[in-house]
A = this chain, B = another copy of it.
Amino acid sequence: MSSPDAQNAIVLLSGGLDSATALAMARGQGLHCHALSIDYGQRHRAELDAARAVASQLGAAAHTIVPLDLRLIGGSALTDPGIAVPEAPTDGIPVTYVPARNTLLLALALGLAEVAGAGRIVIGVNALDYSGYPDCRPAFIDAFQQLAQVASKAGVEGHAPGIDAPLIHLSKAEIIRRGNDLGVDYSLTVSCYQADHQGRACGRCDSCRLRAQGFRAAGLPDPTRYV
């Protein structure tokens, strides 16, 4: 294992709008980016194709897709076909929350960072225009940063990777403006929780609503392909 390099980042890439923007921001800082996606059995499989296209468009140096079938755990509308994706706002944490997903994503990134000698992990979580998931908030990122300092060999040696969440305090409109300035082709991204196999969006789920509002508020054309 090489020693970690702050110019070398693992970037979690779902294929959605936020993580594409986070990758563009990291690339804009001149970082060498290794994209990491998880095929977790998500209902919206098209987001993995989107992740491949985005990694390529934005010049990721590598892209690893790890299969981890969270349907074995279930408990979410995204991994259990028996739970419908809500098409109107709901109270509390919605059923599209996937238990422990971001903890798993960061854990995989932590392992890959150690092996790839990456000094940073970038995750595109957002705690402003979001669905209320617990693992998208600053307290979660801070707790994972603390964990990284004791969980890994690099951490024990005093150089745990930094966990960067560059979107965490931005509105969806600000995220879109930043990405637009950095040349993100949002037509490649898939946000919809129930996108069809061609990546076309439903226009009705939480994720579609937040995305459409974001383009409107940013005053930019929305390139989303709808069913």
* Interface check A171, CB cutoff 8 A: no
A96 CB to closest chain B CB (Å) equals 12
Given contacts A1-B75, A150-B140, contact A104 B111 (CB under 8 A): yes
Find chain B residues with CB under 8 A from A102 CB.
151
CB distance from A168 to the nearest CB of B (A): 14
Q: A97-B153, A107-B107, A139-B150 are in contact. Are A68 and B70 (CB under 8 A)?
A: no
Report if A137 contacts B (CB, 8 A).
yes
Tell me if B97 and A108 are in contact (CB < 8 A): no
Q: Is the CB of B146 within 8 A of A140?
A: no
Q: How far is the CB of A180 from chain B (nearest CB, A)?
A: 32
- Report if A110 contacts B (CB, 8 A): yes
Q: Are B134 and A75 in contact (CB under 8 A)?
A: no
Interface residue A227 (Cβ < 8 Å from any Cβ of B): no
The number of chain A residues touching the other chain, given as a range, is 35 or more
Are the CB atoms of B111 and A73 closer together than 8 Å? yes
> Which residues from 58 to 99 on chain A have a C-beta closer than 8 Å to any C-beta of chain B?
64, 66-70, 72-75, 93, 97-99
Closest to A139 in B: B150
- A152-B100 CB under 8 A given contacts A115-B75, A143-B146: yes
Binding site for B on A (CB under 8 A): 1, 64, 66-70, 72-75, 93, 97-104, 107-108, 110-112, 114-115, 134-135, 137, 139-140, 143-144, 146-147, 149-153, 155-156
